[in-house]
């Protein structure tokens, strides 16, 4: 394979410092399993010509795609749902092979995708329907808010939930009448290909959907091609780069970025239940979830009991009786650079005084990329493990004096994706939830929300802006266009020229009649 000199950059030149198992120095990306290192396949890296052609076709195709209307587009999306159903086994096996997922978690991702597509099928026609509005200053005209497509939507997605985080925005964008240029993560090319195959199987016109492969350099080039909207899911540093590049071109962006989610365990929590929920939400997909529990903020008086129960939950579900990891429950760490970050953060925390309750090391003896399910106690807020994202099966436990202290510790974070409150008093849970600066709070649950379709999804602060899922996720793939048409032609237009004396009092009369604080003020409009 010929080696490119200018484009794309070599692995060593890449922004991840070359921590890569993909080979971008040639014109292909080779996908390897993080469990075994086996080669799974390869895809071509997009060239500038591919990018130019994809955008040109997408622009042209979009016009007819929008024009056919939502009802006909729904037929295609229904066919896509059916194709994703038929491809279930293939999709699940690719998620396991390429991302290192365990069977149950690959199945959950497929389920979440089916539900997402079905959700859009259920709400599409209603949410995208024109909305008539009565405008009281213009009663002689009919106003309708219509939802128009942006044009070409660029979808850039990460590797941790490559199916769910790609299909959601792709389907939302297509249903709203946009065409899509899609760049999967360079660590999820095989998943990207299976999505593209399902879209082709559904008969969606090829000009309205284009898949292009590559790393950050290709992502950058795609933004330079000037899409009309960008739907990005990924890390904070990349999100900031994308926001800057988009700002230069005034392209609207949705940014779904990282998290440092906390579970707040109050003194009245059901401790065994909280421990099981926290361990599941911290270890699911080996902790490689934007909304996984990374910090546990526990009120001091129940801290020891919680640690004990959390350790028990790991021993029960993730380890066998001999203490070896159960590989049908513990996923692999998908990328080599993430496992290095996890190792560095844990080691630094331990050097700084954190106590390893269980785990705390890389499982080199298993081959592949595995990290032991880990609980760290005596963690302090300034440690890197409390401030930066940890994409591994690690939960860091901080102690709080009381409820208010727990709220303060939660909000003392650059991130604001989700959080959970664990208490047996549901009213108290709601009261605490409202004081947390995050996009979503669960009481006595965590993480499940990230796969739910009916409610909006997204964070605050450095966790990003814009929303996916719910109705907002679909609406954000559109811009409103208001059209107003005359119902009747007035003999005299009240606001147009000429400003003859009868019109001069009009604005005053209207202000009196509509906004006068008292009845007397309002009646003044008619005395004039």
Q: Which residues bind ligand NAD (CB under 6 A)?
A: 156-161, 165, 183, 185-186, 215-216, 219-220, 223, 233-235, 238, 241-242, 256-259, 290, 389, 417, 459
Comparison of 179 and 238: residue with beta carbon closer to ligand NAD: 238
Q: How far is the CB of 281 from ligand NAD (least distance, A)?
A: 14
Q: How far apart are CA 182 and CA 192, in angstroms?
A: 9
- Are 235 and 258 within 8 A, CB to CB? yes
Q: What is the CA radius of gyration of the chain?
A: 27
Q: How far apart are CA 457 and CA 473, in angstroms?
A: 8
Catalytic residue among 109, 290, 294, 309, which? 290
Comparison of 333 and 409: residue with beta carbon closer to ligand NAD: 333
Catalytic residue among 98, 105, 109, 256, which? 256
| Residue 51 C-beta-side C-alpha neighbours within 13 Å | 21
Comparison of 343 and 425: residue with beta carbon closer to ligand NAD: 343
Comparison of 148 and 220: residue with beta carbon closer to ligand NAD: 220
Comparison of 356 and 460: residue with beta carbon closer to ligand NAD: 460
Dihedral over alpha carbons 325, 326, 327, 329 (to 10 degrees): -120
Calculate helix-pair angle for 48-67, 216-224, nearest 10 degrees: 50
Q: How far is the CB of 27 from ligand NAD (least distance, A)?
A: 16
> Nearest-CB residue to ligand NAD?
219
- Of 297, 288, 315, nearest to 390 (Cα)? 288
Strand ranges inside 60-127, DSSP E: none
Comparison of 147 and 183: residue with beta carbon closer to ligand NAD: 183
- Of 280, 332, 284, 329, nearest to 309 (Cα)? 280
Q: How far is the CB of 18 from ligand NAD (least distance, A)?
A: 14
Q: How far is the CB of 418 from ligand NAD (least distance, A)?
A: 9
- Of 469, 380, 483, 459, nearest to 127 (Cα)? 469
Strand ranges inside 279-433, DSSP E: 295-299, 355-358, 374-377, 394-400, 418-422
Comparison of 418 and 478: residue with beta carbon closer to ligand NAD: 418
* 39 three-class SS: strand
Q: How far is the CB of 109 from ligand NAD (least distance, A)?
A: 11
Q: Where are the alpha helices (DSSP H) in 36-180?
A: 48-67, 69-86, 88-99, 103-127, 164-175
* Residue 207 to residues 26, 60, 159, 477, Cα–Cα distance (Å): 27, 8, 25, 18
- Of 465, 48, 460, nearest to 243 (Cα)? 465
Q: How far is the CB of 314 from ligand NAD (least distance, A)?
A: 23
Q: How far is the CB of 387 from ligand NAD (least distance, A)?
A: 14
290 tagged catalytic: yes
- Are 302 and 275 within 8 A, CB to CB? no
382 tagged catalytic: no
Catalytic positions, written as ranges: 256, 290
């Amino acid at each position: 394979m010929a080696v490119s000199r200018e484009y794309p950059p070599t692995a060593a030149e890449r922004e991840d410092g070359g921590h890569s198992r993909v080979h971008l120095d040639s014109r292909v990306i080779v996908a390897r399993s993080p469990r075994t290192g086996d080669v799974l396949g390869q895809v071509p890296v997009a060239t500038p010509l591919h990018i130019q052609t994809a955008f040109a076709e997408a622009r042209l195709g979009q016009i007819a795609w929008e024009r056919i209307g939502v009802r006909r587009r729904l037929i295609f999306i229904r066919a896509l749902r059916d194709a994703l159903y038929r491809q279930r086994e293939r999709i699940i096996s690719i998620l396991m092979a390429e991302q290192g997922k365990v069977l149950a978690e690959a199945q959950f991702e497929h389920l979440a995708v089916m539900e997402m597509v079905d959700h859009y099928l259920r709400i599409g026609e209603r949410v995208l329907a024109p909305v008539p509005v009565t405008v009281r200053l213009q009663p002689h005209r009919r106003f309708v808010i219509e939802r128009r497509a942006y044009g070409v939507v660029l979808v850039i997605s990460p590797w941790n939930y490559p199916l769910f985080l790609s299909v959601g925005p792709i389907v939302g964008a297509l249903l709203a009448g946009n065409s899509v240029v899609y760049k999967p993560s360079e660590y999820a090319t095989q998943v990207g290909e299976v999505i593209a195959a399902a879209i082709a199987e559904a008969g969606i016109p090829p000009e309205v959907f284009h898949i292009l492969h590559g790393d950050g350099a290709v992502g950058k080039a795609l933004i330079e091609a000037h899409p009309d909207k960008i739907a990005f899911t990924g890390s904070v540093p990349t999100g900031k780069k994308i926001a800057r590049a988009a700002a230069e071109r005034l392209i609207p962006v949705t940014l779904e970025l990282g998290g440092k989610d906390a579970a707040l365990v109050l003194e009245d929590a059901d401790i065994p239940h909280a421990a099981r929920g926290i361990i599941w939400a911290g270890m699911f997909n080996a902790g490689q979830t934007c909304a996984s529990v990374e910090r546990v903020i526990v009120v001091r008086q129940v801290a020891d009991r919680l640690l004990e129960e959390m350790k028990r939950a790991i021993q029960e579900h993730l380890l066998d009786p001999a203490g070896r990891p159960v590989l049908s429950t513990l996923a692999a760490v998908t990328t080599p650079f993430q496992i290095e970050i996890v190792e560095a953060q844990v080691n630094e925390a331990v050097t700084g005084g954190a106590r390893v309750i269980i785990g705390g090391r890389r499982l080199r003896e298993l081959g592949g990329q595995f990290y032991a399910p880990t609980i760290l106690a005596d963690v302090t807020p300034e440690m890197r493990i409390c401030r930066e994202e940890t994409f591994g099966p690690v939960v860091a436990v901080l102690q709080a004096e009381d409820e208010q202290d727990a709220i303060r510790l939660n909000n003392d974070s650059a991130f604001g994706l989700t959080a959970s409150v664990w208490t047996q008093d549901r009213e108290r849970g709601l009261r605490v939830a409202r004081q947390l600066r995050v996009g979503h709070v669960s009481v006595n649950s965590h993480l499940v929300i990230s796969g739910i379709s009916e409610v909006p999804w997204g964070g605050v602060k450095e966790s990003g802006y814009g929303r996916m899922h719910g109705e907002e996720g679909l609406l954000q793939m559109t811009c409103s266009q208001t059209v107003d048409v005359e119902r009747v032609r007035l003999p005299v237009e009240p606001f147009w020229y000429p400003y003859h004396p009868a019109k001069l009092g009009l604005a005053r009369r209207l202000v009196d009649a509509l906004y006068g604080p008292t009845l007397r003020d309002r009646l003044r409009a008619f005395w004039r």
